[in-house]
Amino acid sequence: MIEKIAIGPETEKAIAEIIARYPVPEAALIPALHKVQDELGWLPLEAIDWVAGRLSLPKARVYGVVSFYTMFRRSKPGRHRLEVCTNLSCSLMGGEHLRDYLCEKLKIQPGQTTSDGRITLTEVECLGSCGSAPVMLVDDAFYENLTPETVDQILEQLHQKETRGGVS
């Protein structure tokens, strides 16, 4: 699938500013990839090519970097992303059970997106919030001390947001 991408002037400007912070443009690679991902929602191959061109780097090297870091998404996620931690501290407090609970509710496995393209569920490693376990990121925001009830509320909120604001 070929994605046509267009990078907006704000992202372009932000990347130019970031490049100026380093003695070599290559060092701006990871922040630049973040900026592009923030705009597109993920990093299609065309985005990798674009960043490689912008920083004058071999495409293979950029792809090597993108595929190394788990936060870079190489497939298109759903409109909302749930990233549930199941590392030790969270799982002692029910992290794995929450993951399973979400799988049941959303009828998907970790790594999958609901058939309506609404929610992508991912199982992630330690998020650095172990004292308030179990935790989950919802579109990059921390939700802590979770229980099945609070998870239900979060899903309900996401649902309401969409129905209220119309499907984006």
Residues of this chain that interact with other proteins (CB under 8 A) are 21-24, 26-31, 33-34, 45, 55, 57-61, 63-65, 67-72, 86-89, 91-97, 99-101, 103-104, 109-111, 123, 125-133, 137, 140-142, 147-148
Whichever of 12 and 26 has its CB closer to other proteins, that residue is 26
- In the complex, what is the shortest distance from the CB of residue 143 to other proteins, in angstroms, rounded to a whole number? 13
Residue 2, number of CB atoms within 10 A of its CB: 7
Q: Which residue has the tokens 């990078």?
A: 7
Whichever of 8 and 128 has its CB closer to other proteins, that residue is 128
Residue 141 has phi, psi (to 5 degrees) of: -100, 140
* Residue in 49, 16, 137 with CA at minimum distance from that of residue 86: 137
- In the complex, what is the shortest distance from the CB of residue 44 to other proteins, in angstroms, rounded to a whole number? 11
Distances (CA, A) of 39 to 43, 46, 59, 160: 10, 14, 20, 24
Whichever of 86 and 166 has its CB closer to other proteins, that residue is 86
Spatial distance between the Cα atoms of 156 and 167, rounded to a whole number of angstroms: 15
- In the complex, what is the shortest distance from the CB of residue 147 to other proteins, in angstroms, rounded to a whole number? 6
